[in-house]
Amino acid sequence: MEAILIVAVLIFSVVVHEVAHAWQARREGDDTAEQLGRITLNPISHLDPFGSFIVPFGLYLLNIGFLFGWAKPVPVDPAKYRSPVWGDIRVSLAGIVANLILAVLATLGAAIVLKVTSLTGSPPSRLSETLSLMAYWGILINLVLAFFNLIPIPPLDGSHVLFHALPRPVAVWYAQVGRYGLPLLIALLFFRGDLFTYIMWPVEFFLNQADAFIRLWI
């Protein structure tokens, strides 16, 4: 049951992530994603069978202490951006910002559930326990998605920011080797997932901050 809840939260989070990319791309002048129906919360338009189901379930079953997944990347045409460089950076960061907002909302939700439960003076109901569990995974998953996507390995969002910061010759080489980024990430997730627990320290820091905030409502 918990595994289904986790995957449901993950799917919603990655869908919002991709919708944020599509929405920001439209603001930058590119309507490609909009024309393809990607500015929608309907998961059918976004889900990738491998990245949205197989990888998350595999990581969960392996119990490596790290959970991740993705949806189908939103198609964009940077040539249509009013500012090709800054437009690409803003579109790339939009998904990360969306996940951080979801993490904040999940924190507030957990605090409200805890406060209501404490006011009733009765033991937590199954509903409140489910909502609390959902909020916890909402905080954790969205923090992981936000900070993991900042890692500058293509095709992660952070790679777009680094690409525009590099000197032109280095950026060209970086884009060429980027085609091997996804296989590398998948291999590292399954065989050396412990590496990501070391570089994802911001997740633990902000998770502790969220926990401290929630406890203020007791």
Q: Which residues are catalytic, by number? A: 18
Q: Which amino acid is at 185?
A: L
- Determine the Cα–Cα distance for residues 135 and 201; give it in Å rounded to an integer: 20
Direct distance between the N- and C-terminal alpha carbons of the chain, in angstroms, rounded to an integer: 27
Q: Examine residue 155 and say whether the peptide bond preceding it is cis (omega within 30 degrees of 0).
A: yes
What are the CA-CA distances from residue 86 to residues 52, 101, 214 (Å)? 29, 22, 36
> What backbone phi and psi angles, to 5 degrees, belong to 208?
-65, -35
- Extract the tokens encoding 112: 């409200």
